[in-house]
Amino acid sequence: MQKALALSLCGLGLLLGAAWTGYAHGQTARSARQTWEYRVDPVPGTQRSMRTSYAELDTEVMEHHRAVDEKLLNQRAAEGWELIAVGGYFYYFRRAR
C-alpha cells in the first residue's frame, strides 16, 4: 500500500514538473517575441549648458535644469516610455509595442 502511494506521488510530481516546464517554456517563447519602440530625446537645456561647465552654473540654474528634466521624464513616463539609458546629452527611452 505504501509502495503504491509512493509511486502515485512520484508520478504526480513528474506530471506537475512536466506541466510546469511546458508552462515556463510557453512564457519564455512569448516574452522572446516582445518588440519595442525606442525614442531618443535631448536632455533639456544641453545646448546652453554645453558651452558652460557645471562648476560654473549657479544653484538657481541647476535647479531649473533639474525641474525641466523631471518634467520631461514624468511626461514620457505618462506616455508609457521607460528610461533605459542616459548617454552624453541624450535620454534613451523604450516602450512595448
Whether 74 contacts 82, CB under 8 Å: no
Q: For residue 68, what is its C-alpha cell?
A: 525641466
pLDDT of 9-33, one tens digit each?
455 455 555 555 656 666 655 667 8
Domain spans of the chain, in order of start = 1-34, 36-96
Instruction: Report CA-CA distances (Å) from 38 to 46, 71, 92.
Output: 21, 19, 7
Query: For residues 45, 47, 51 and 55, what is the CA-based torsion angle, rounded to 10 degrees?
Result: 20
Q: Rounded to an integer, what is the distance from CA 2 to the centroid of its chain?
A: 51
pTM (2 decimals)? 0.57
pLDDT, residue 72, reads 96
